[in-house]
Amino acid sequence: MAAGSDAGESGSFSCAKCGKQAHLQCPKCVELKLPREGAAFCSQECFKASWSTHKSVHLKAKVSHPGDNPGEPKAGSTKDGWLYCLRKGQSRTPKLPHFDWTGSLRPYPISKQRLVPGHIDLPDWAIDGIPKIEPNSDLQHHVEIKTPEQIERMRETCRLSREVLDAAARVIRPGITTDEIDAVVHEATIAAGGYPSPLNYHFFPKSCCTSVNEVICHGIPDARKLEDGDIVNVDISVYYKGVHGDLNETFFVGNVDEASRRLVQCTYECLEKAIAIVKPGVRFREVGEVINRHASMSGFSVVKSYCGHGIGELFHCAPNIPHYSRNKAVGVMKAGQTFTIEPMINSGVWRDRMWPDGWTAVTADGKRSAQFEHTLLVTETGVEVLTARLPSSPDVLPWLSSS
C-alpha cells in the first residue's frame, strides 16, 4: 500500500518515521479521518518502513467507530435504530421473526455495537468477528500447563472479571433492561483496561450474555425490561493482559417463586460439588457424574449441548468438560491447568433449541434453566477458584447470607 500525496495539509507535520518535513499522508488515515499527527511521512520509504506498526492505528479506529456513517447518530447513543438480532448479528430485521417459541420469552430489539477506545488491547476477533488463532491452535487438542507467569495474569484477569460481574449484579432489579446491564458490563470492563471478550466473538453483538428464564445460555442483551419474578444469568468474560477470565451467576429479579429458587440454588450447589473434586489425577469425565447426581436428586435435568472449557490466552480450548453423566471426556486433571465448569440445569427436559438469532439457547419445553460458572486453576493439592466471590461482592445469593 502506498501513501498518497497531500502536501497542502501535511506540510506542517514532520515525518512519523524520521522527523523530516512530511509531504505524504497515509491514505487510510485520511479515509478514516484520523489525526494527521503521526500519519504523515517524508517519503514512500519511511511510510513502508513504518507500515507494520502504523497499521494498527486503523484497526483500533474501526472498532471505535463501527459503521460510523456521516449523518448517522453516534454509535453508543442507544435507543435509535434498535433492531432484532438475526443470524449471529450479521443481519438484522425490524420484524419479529417467525419461530415456534418454546416459552413466553421473546427477542427484543438490540442496540448498536458499543465502542472500545483505542488504548484497549483487542483479541483477534474484535475487528472482523472471526477468531483466527483459536480454531487452529494445538491447544484445541492438548491441555496447556500454564507457567507461573501465565497463572499470575490469569489471577488478575479473573479477579477483574469477578468485579465486572459484581457491578452487573448490583444494578439488577425489575424494570432494568438487559441492554442496560450490558452497558454497565461494557463500561466497567473498559474502565479497568479490559476488553469484553464476547463482543464480536463469532459476531456476537454485545459485551456479555444475559439469559432470562427459559434461556439456557448465550442470551443477547436487548430492550426487554426485567420483570418481577424473572431469573437472569449474567455471563462475563474479560480479555486483559493477554488472557481471558470467565464466570457467571444467576440472579433473582424481585420476588421469585419457590420452584425457581430451588432450581437456582441447586445449580449453585452442582457447581460447588464439582469444584470440590478438582485436583490432580481426577478424570475430567467425573465432573459430569457429580453434577448429574445432584441435579437429578432434585428432579432437575442437565444440559448436554454446552460444556465447560479450557481458557487462558485462548477464550475456548481443551479440555472439553461435559456436565452430564456417562460422558466421553478424555484426560485427567494436572496442576497448572485452567478451565471452566459451568453447569446449566433445567427444571424440565434437558433438550435445548436455538432461537433464529443463532445464539439464544432455550429449553425445548420452555421451562426455566439456571447456570453458574467459575474459572478454576488445578493446584498441586486441589483447586484455586480464580473467579471466587470477594469480600466486596454484593449479597445477592440468599442461601449464602448468614442472617
Closer residue to Zn ion in complex, CB, 222/373: 373
Write out the three cell numbers for 113. 455495537
Closer residue to Zn ion in complex, CB, 41/315: 315
Given a contact cutoff of 8 angstroms between Cβ atoms, the answer to whether 302 and 217 are in contact is no
Which residue from 102, 161, 340, 363 is in contact with Zn ion, where contact means CB under 5 A?
A: 340
Which residue from 179, 246, 249, 352 is in contact with Zn ion, where contact means CB under 5 A?
A: 246
Q: What does the alpha-carbon distance between residue 154 and residue 239 come to, in Å, rounded to a whole number?
A: 10
Q: Find, among 395, 389, 400, 403, the residue nearest to 162 by Cα.
A: 389
* AA identity, residue 255: N
Give SS3 for 29: helix
- Choose one: 9-17, 100-108, 240-248, 295-303; the region binding Zn ion (CB under 5 A): 240-248
Site string for Zn ion, 191-230 (x = CB under 5 A): ----------------------------------------
Q: How far is the CB of 375 from Zn ion (least distance, A)?
A: 8
Q: How far is the CB of 323 from Zn ion (least distance, A)?
A: 12
CA atoms within 13 Å, Cβ hemisphere of 180: 13
DSSP 88: T
Count of positions on this chain that bind Zn ion (CB under 5 A): 5
Q: How far is the CB of 343 from Zn ion (least distance, A)?
A: 11
- Cα-based angle 338, 344, 345 (whole degrees, multiple of 5): 140
Q: How far is the CB of 20 from Zn ion (least distance, A)?
A: 51
Q: How far is the CB of 389 from Zn ion (least distance, A)?
A: 16
Q: How far is the CB of 248 from Zn ion (least distance, A)?
A: 5
Q: What does the alpha-carbon distance between residue 180 and residue 190 come to, in Å, rounded to a whole number?
A: 16
- Choose one: 52-60, 62-70, 357-365, 369-377; the region binding Zn ion (CB under 5 A): 369-377
Cis peptide before 280 (omega within 30 of 0): no
Helix (H) or strand (E) holding 270: helix 258-276
Closer residue to Zn ion in complex, CB, 327/340: 340
Q: How far is the CB of 201 from Zn ion (least distance, A)?
A: 11
Closer residue to Zn ion in complex, CB, 46/341: 341
> How far, CA to CA in Å, does 176 sit from each of 181, 230, 336?
7, 12, 40
Q: How far is the CB of 306 from Zn ion (least distance, A)?
A: 9
Q: What does the alpha-carbon distance between residue 292 and residue 47 come to, in Å, rounded to a whole number?
A: 60
Which residue from 134, 144, 182, 235 is in contact with Zn ion, where contact means CB under 5 A?
A: 235
* Interacting positions 39-58 with Zn ion (CB under 5 A): none
Closer residue to Zn ion in complex, CB, 15/345: 345
Q: What does the alpha-carbon distance between residue 144 and residue 136 come to, in Å, rounded to a whole number?
A: 15
* AA identity, residue 252: F
- Choose one: 103-111, 122-130, 148-156, 367-375; the region binding Zn ion (CB under 5 A): 367-375
Residue 134 sits in the site that holds Zn ion (CB under 5 A): no
Q: What are the residue ranges of helices labelled H in 79-207? A: 133-136, 148-171, 178-191
Please give the residue ranges that form the binding site for Zn ion (CB under 5 A).
235, 246, 248, 340, 373
